[in-house]
Structure 1
């Protein structure tokens, strides 16, 4: 086995130590928080004002706690909304109206000036109609917008829109609105009361890959740069040991290694107890001077051959206790795509398990090694 070594100066080693210290200090200050025990967990890029320091969040991601300890997001041109859920790995957030009349907020929704935009959109036309027997049209009114002498409807069906405008029903068009929805509709919706949450996403900061790998994003100390920490690693590279030994001498290297392992180990693995349940490998700070053995993952053809499942509204899976992806630790949501390992039937988010199997040829839960596809005939 051949190794190539590169001598690292003491100045470079000092900079590595300072970088680890900066990230460690940032992580120690920025612990996760909640408005109450049943509310979403808040961490970077979000922060709760007056509970987490300004450096713990990204500009435009400030949250607050309401009078009933609900989590509040305030959009610059649309006011305050209640945060229902946050998916950090997929960079998605679900919000709703404090007064339980989301349709009213949708009519004036303006996401400009905020960090968020709709992931999917559906066009809805709002009508204000005089009282009539709307049941024969198969549509439902928006109760919170309707009154004693009029009824408000919202529909994306061209057939219903034509009936309301041309059916002598005394209906007036209010507005056509593009509504952020949880999933694109392949059939036009007859009528909606907008009882579901608004489904939004964000582009910056890009922390989805870091979160999916088990890491955590944070702002670098005294900087606007976003760094990823807590990413699982297995071994301290032998080449790094050689470089440190060459630069600092054996006694100095041992001391420096202990400091680096302690600091960087705390930064990367401070949350290892929660990840242990998800099947991610634990950190071992012991320096291994033996050659590092690289474990090769599965090939693309084998990974691609595994069956996919698109979750329905019931989120029902072959195993009744499968409700959370043990790789990203996020609960499954309707319409998400999952992938199953055929041998053990364990399910995971499709993106999560594909990335995992490229690096490790074992199931994250049971550690069994899936069979590979035979090589294609030449």
Structure 2
């Protein structure tokens, strides 16, 4: 009873510490616009998915009918959020129409919330025919059958484009070192406030400290604190230790009991002899035998005479020195019981158990006169 109480208490302690460590009330749930979309959580909030206190001002995202997360920058410019890096606090944006190169010509990417990590200059070239060079990237969404448009880092292929009389122009594009610089696929912006870099890198989650106000705190969301780890160790280790100790004690007790059996109590190697070593069989009342003949009651069994082996081990019958039930030799001063009708004798404990189950001699199997 005491061990069960300890196990229950330890389990409850570990569970409560796990809940308090993993589910702080100030951390809002994660949301997605689609299964393959970016993970949306603080400081971002998905409109119609999160409560107002789950997002920082300026980080609102809208899920469109195509399951894309949309971020709106100044001048009503909508961009698809392709990836959010919460540890580095950067976001990768794509064009909903899959022609970002066209929007690079006149879009403004800076805002009070998002800025560029760095800018790099790229040169676009519009030519009247396809150029015989394979190392420059063709912008398919700006090309048609009459004109081909290419993009290269600024300063490269300048003379080459001039030789083919291509129209060129240069744009400044926000990029990030951790992402490829294919500006026709996406651009990268960063945010500095709120600063949750150290919290995210340490396995925590940012959120507002209270239901009202703008103070941001770091909450343990993934993993366990030292206190929670101690609770899990106690909650899981202690019950396992108790169970292991109980198992060792049980096995050692069984070993001690099995090591003290009397050799006369071992069952004979015969299918016709009853099991006389089972503790439960010694306590059973008489029962019908398989041949339909019941055993003899204890009063009649006790009336059968007993004899004792003398000090020299001599037996009443020559060469009759083995008990036919347990197949053990008779030892000096052992007590034997005789069946009156046939004169056969056996160990007292062996023949008593036999007769309780079968009213017959184990040797001659004659039922007459024994019931």
TM norm structure 2:
0.51
Q: Secondary structure at the match of 2:157?
A: helix
Name the counterpart of 2:152.
Answer: 155
Q: Secondary structure at the match of 1:210?
A: helix
For this pair of structures, how many residues does the alignment match?
211
1:47·1:63 contact (CA, 8 Å) conserved in 2?
yes
Q: Secondary structure at the match of 2:169?
A: strand
Name the counterpart of 1:177.
Answer: 172
Q: Does 1:59 align with 2:57?
A: yes
C-alpha displacement at 1:52, in angstroms?
A: 0.6
Name the counterpart of 2:26.
Answer: 26
C-alpha displacement at 1:50, in angstroms?
A: 1.3
Give, in whole Å, the separation in 1 of the partners of 2:177 and 2:184. Answer: 11
1:121·1:184 contact (CA, 8 Å) conserved in 2?
no
Give, in whole Å, the separation in 1 of the partners of 2:143 and 2:134. Answer: 17
Give, in whole Å, the separation in 2 of the partners of 1:283 and 1:144. Answer: 59
- The one of 228, 233, 240 equivalent to 2:225 is 233
C-alpha displacement at 1:207, in angstroms?
A: 0.5
Structure 1 residue ranges without an equivalent (≥5): 1-19, 236-264, 266-280, 288-378
Give, in whole Å, the separation in 1 of the partners of 2:117 and 2:55. Answer: 22
Quick check: which has more Rg, 1 or 2? 2
Q: Secondary structure at the match of 2:137?
A: coil
Name the counterpart of 1:346.
Answer: none
TM norm structure 1:
0.50
2:47·2:60 contact (CA, 8 Å) conserved in 1?
yes
Name the counterpart of 2:272.
Answer: none
RMSD: 2.9
Structure 2 residue ranges without an equivalent (≥5): 1-19, 236-371
Cα gap change, 1:179/1:210 in structure 2, threshold over 3 Å: closer, same or farther? closer
C-alpha displacement at 1:40, in angstroms?
A: 1.4
Give, in whole Å, the separation in 1 of the partners of 2:121 and 2:155. Answer: 11
Give, in whole Å, the separation in 1 of the partners of 2:118 and 2:108. Answer: 15
Alignment of 1:1-378 (within 5 A): 24-27=24-27, 30-77=28-75, 79-131=77-129, 133-136=130-133, 138-156=135-153, 158-165=155-162, 167=163, 169-183=164-178, 194-220=183-209, 221-230=211-220, 232-235=224-227, 281=229, 284=232
Name the counterpart of 1:270.
Answer: none
Give, in whole Å, the separation in 2 of the partners of 1:99 and 1:195. Answer: 12
